Structure 1
Amino acid sequence: MRLPDLIRLTTSSFLAYRMRSFLTALGIAIGITAVILLTSIGEGLHQFVLSEFSQFGTNLIAIQPGKTQTQGGNAGIFGSVRTISLEDAEALRHLPNVEYVNPSVTGNAELRANGKTRRTTVIGAGHNLPQVLSSRMQSGSFLPDDDPTQARAQVVLGAKVRQELFAGQNPLGSYLRIGGQRYRVIGVMEPKGQMLGFDMDDTVFIPAARALELFNRPGLMEIQLSYKASADLNSVTRAITARLKDRHGREDFTLIPQEKALEVLGSVLDVITFAVGALGGISLLVGGVGILTIMTMAVSERTAEIGLLRALGARENQVLTLFLGEAMLLSALGGLAGLALGVGIAQGLHLFIPALPVHTPWLFAVLAELSAVSIGLAAGVIPARRAARLDPVDALRTE
């Protein structure tokens, strides 16, 4: 049997049984659509979460009070013999490979300006916060490099706070009250957006020493430290640990490298993406059962045709190839239709719901198509072998 004859015989069955072929391919198409749609949403979520966490850079280490215990969770400031302090932050500035250090205290307070009142997040920070968290100024300047114990009453506004309290005005040089204390506005931050529900623009920044007084806290909530991109993370963490242990007498603090956190988060999100893709893959198995059923029926209906082919000299492997080709072609066409449908639905969702992160991973798309063809091949093996082993004389008698 020549190759053109094999192709013609394979495709002729689709034309003879159009509805049956369509419904068989539809089962595979629905499975591929489910895989593409779910993995597109999963991968979009993956990229969105990683971008949210990495927008402040990856060469970061957060230092928190309290030693993480084996039962999980951070002991925090209440489980620590000694809190981390402004002096600790200053001591870390002089370590090798350390670029910038930012002491951080966060709380909530009421702001008053121009007869308006707004309750928002107040962040106590150092003068290096823009460098540590990759932030930029829209106007004015950030907090100056003052003596921590003599910090001036100055404030930098987030973009939303500036709009709410000083709409249509230049706030630089104006005054506002934070928790009853008077602060002078020296700068406005560029819009940063939200990070996992936390609005970075609805904040104000004051010196960390004044935030400790405002919130009546004995120590910092966190020290954020950025290090050189060329530096070895383990060397940096060892130097930090040694310096703080010298100051505290014990390891009563926790280091959280952003790089390690992103690696763990990426691994978790990879598993989630794979899991949702596997759920969609169940539909592919259902489609494979459909191909198995249809091909079994096709062998029964075309027994006489098989007998005639064998009588005319077709070998067993040629009949086997004929039916396997039909099964693979059905699954391949269904897979291509599913790819187009899945990508179309995913992009349509993103078009109508822009906030929904959608990204089609083409590796998954290729694997889904290969899986569809493989399932078609596997589902067609049993019917094809049955057809190839039919006795030509017995097959012709069914006519």
Structure 2
Amino acid sequence: MRVQDWLVLVLSSVRFNPLKSLLTALGIAIGIAAVTLLTALGEGVRGYVVDNFSQFGTRIISVTPGRSDTAGMGTILSSVQLLTMADRNSLARLPHAEYVIPSLQGSGSIRYGERSRSTEIHGTSADFTRAWSFPLAQGRFLPDSGGGPSPAFVVLGHTVWQELFQGQQALGQFIRVSGQRFRVVGVMQSKGSMLGFDLDDMVYIAADRALSLFNREGLMEINLVFGPGTNATDMAQRIRTHLTERHGQEDFTIITQDEMLSSLDNILSVLTLGVAALGGISLLVGGVGIFTVMTTNIRERTAEIGLLRAIGSSRRQLLSLFLGEAVILSLLGAITGMLAALAILFGLALLLPGLPLQPSPFYLLLSLLVSAFIGLIAGLGPAWQASLLSPIEALRNE
């Protein structure tokens, strides 16, 4: 049998009853549409999260107190030596260390006149805006204290400034931060939110002032930004050696930005794959539909099968005809579902431009391959049954 004849026979069976073919392919179409939509959402969320973390740079190393197998991410145990401002100052002297940022965070009330607001208070240092690319809208950031006690200065996040000062001049004014008097020296530009956390709804004070304000002895974290003259692995080892000599033991955890991004990307990729697997259940339902319809077709087309066998068609040719019909129905449904899903994604992008949606070519291609495979498996049983029919018995039954 020539390839052209094979195609004519397969396509004619699909065209003979277009409504049945459409309904048969509908299950696959719904499955493919579900997989495409869910994976586009999963990939969009993954890209959104990774991009948000990447905006702070990739040459970052974080040091937290406690070993990762005991204290964990910033959890401080009484038996663990704390990270102090002295540790931060010593790390700043390491080769290739561009910025070393202490970090301490808590919440408290901010008051100006009769207006008050509960918000996040972030203790940091003068290099914060240069290390993280946080631009100022007004004034300046916290000054470098030169190793001495820091002055009682505060920088307002954009939302805090609008709430307390109603858009009026804030520079030089005095506010109360958890009951203590601070002078406003700057206002940050609006930075928006990251993973649901409002970066504009906070105030910034010097880390040593924050330690006193929260009655703490140690920092939550030290972030080091290293220069281009080294790499994350060498710099992490340099930090580990330096702090181990200072503390007498390795009672801290070092995490590079590359490790954080890699772990985050792996987790979100697994979630996307899980979401795709959930959508793939619809494909299995579509495969059952193809199996059912193809089995029915065998009974309805017994005479056709007998005639093909009588004129010399082999069992292998019959098998290929029915398998081809099942695969074509499956691919027809897959293409229809994919086009419908892409149309829905386009509409959502116009209506909700902030929604992270990112169709993945990998999952689109994988969906087509899986649908073809499901069609092949679903059609295998009926096709094998058709190939075993005796031409005499098939014609006699008609």
1:173 aligns with 2:177: no
Q: How many Å apart are 1:2 and its aligned residue?
A: 3.8
For 1:361 and 1:80, the matched residues in 2 are separated by 48
77-86 vs 333-342, greater mean Cα deviation: 77-86
360-369 vs 34-43, greater mean Cα deviation: 34-43
92-101 vs 148-157, greater mean Cα deviation: 148-157
Q: How many Å apart are 1:349 and its aligned residue?
A: 4.7
248-257 vs 330-339, greater mean Cα deviation: 248-257
Q: How many Å apart are 1:278 and its aligned residue?
A: 1.1
Q: Contact 1:69 / 1:75 at 8 angstroms: preserved in 2?
A: no
The code of the aligned residue for 1:64 comes to T
Give SS of 1:184's match: strand
Alignment partner, residue 276 of structure 1: 275
For 1:51 and 1:74, the matched residues in 2 are separated by 22
For 1:49 and 1:147, the matched residues in 2 are separated by 37
Q: How many Å apart are 1:265 and its aligned residue?
A: 1.7
Alignment partner, residue 104 of structure 1: 103
Q: Contact 2:103 / 2:222 at 8 angstroms: preserved in 1?
A: yes
Q: Deviations over 1:275-316 (max 9, x none)?
A: 111121122122112212211221221121122223333333
Alignment partner, residue 256 of structure 1: 255
For 1:73 and 1:2, the matched residues in 2 are separated by 68
Q: Contact 2:154 / 2:185 at 8 angstroms: preserved in 1?
A: yes
Q: Contact 1:67 / 1:75 at 8 angstroms: preserved in 2?
A: no
Alignment of 1:151-300 (within 5 A): 151-229=150-228, 231-300=230-299
Q: How many Å apart are 1:398 and its aligned residue?
A: 2.4
Q: How many Å apart are 1:170 and its aligned residue?
A: 2.9
The code of the aligned residue for 1:263 comes to S
150-159 vs 341-350, greater mean Cα deviation: 341-350
For 2:116 and 2:388, the matched residues in 1 are separated by 86
Q: Contact 1:68 / 1:75 at 8 angstroms: preserved in 2?
A: no
Alignment partner, residue 25 of structure 1: 25
Alignment partner, residue 62 of structure 2: 62
1:15 aligns with 2:15: yes
Identity between Structure 1 and Structure 2 (%): 48
Give SS of 2:289's match: helix
Q: How many Å apart are 1:80 and its aligned residue?
A: 4.2
CA separation of 1:109/1:75 partners in 2, compared to 1, >3 Å: closer, same or farther?
closer
Alignment partner, residue 36 of structure 1: 36
1:48 aligns with 2:48: yes
For 1:359 and 1:165, the matched residues in 2 are separated by 39
Alignment partner, residue 304 of structure 1: 303
Alignment of 1:145-156 (within 5 A): 145-156=144-155
Q: How many Å apart are 1:329 and its aligned residue?
A: 1.0
For 1:77 and 1:389, the matched residues in 2 are separated by 73
Q: How many Å apart are 1:197 and its aligned residue?
A: 2.9
For 1:80 and 1:61, the matched residues in 2 are separated by 24
Q: How many Å apart are 1:209 and its aligned residue?
A: 1.5
For 1:215 and 1:246, the matched residues in 2 are separated by 29
Alignment partner, residue 117 of structure 1: 116
Q: How many Å apart are 1:333 and its aligned residue?
A: 0.5
Q: How many Å apart are 1:371 and its aligned residue?
A: 0.9
For 2:230 and 2:25, the matched residues in 1 are separated by 55
Alignment partner, residue 316 of structure 1: 315
51-60 vs 322-331, greater mean Cα deviation: 51-60
Q: Contact 1:67 / 1:76 at 8 angstroms: preserved in 2?
A: no
Give SS of 1:101's match: strand
For 2:113 and 2:78, the matched residues in 1 are separated by 42
For 1:230 and 1:25, the matched residues in 2 are separated by 58
The code of the aligned residue for 2:21 comes to S
Q: Contact 1:149 / 1:209 at 8 angstroms: preserved in 2?
A: no
The code of the aligned residue for 1:160 comes to T
Q: How many Å apart are 1:78 and its aligned residue?
A: 3.2
349-358 vs 335-344, greater mean Cα deviation: 349-358
Q: Contact 2:64 / 2:74 at 8 angstroms: preserved in 1?
A: no
TM-score, normalised with respect to structure 2: 0.92
For 2:147 and 2:65, the matched residues in 1 are separated by 19
Q: Deviations over 1:65-100 (max 9, x none)?
A: 223335x74573333443211111111012122221
Q: Contact 2:61 / 2:232 at 8 angstroms: preserved in 1?
A: no
Q: Contact 2:65 / 2:80 at 8 angstroms: preserved in 1?
A: no
Alignment partner, residue 333 of structure 1: 332
Give SS of 1:371's match: helix
CA separation of 1:322/1:230 partners in 2, compared to 1, >3 Å: closer, same or farther?
farther
The code of the aligned residue for 2:41 comes to I
Gaps of 5+ in 2: none
Q: Contact 1:65 / 1:80 at 8 angstroms: preserved in 2?
A: no
The alignment covers a number of residue pairs equal to 398
Q: Deviations over 1:166-197 (max 9, x none)?
A: 22323223332223333222222121222233
The code of the aligned residue for 2:130 comes to Q
Q: How many Å apart are 1:25 and its aligned residue?
A: 0.4
Q: Contact 1:347 / 1:358 at 8 angstroms: preserved in 2?
A: no
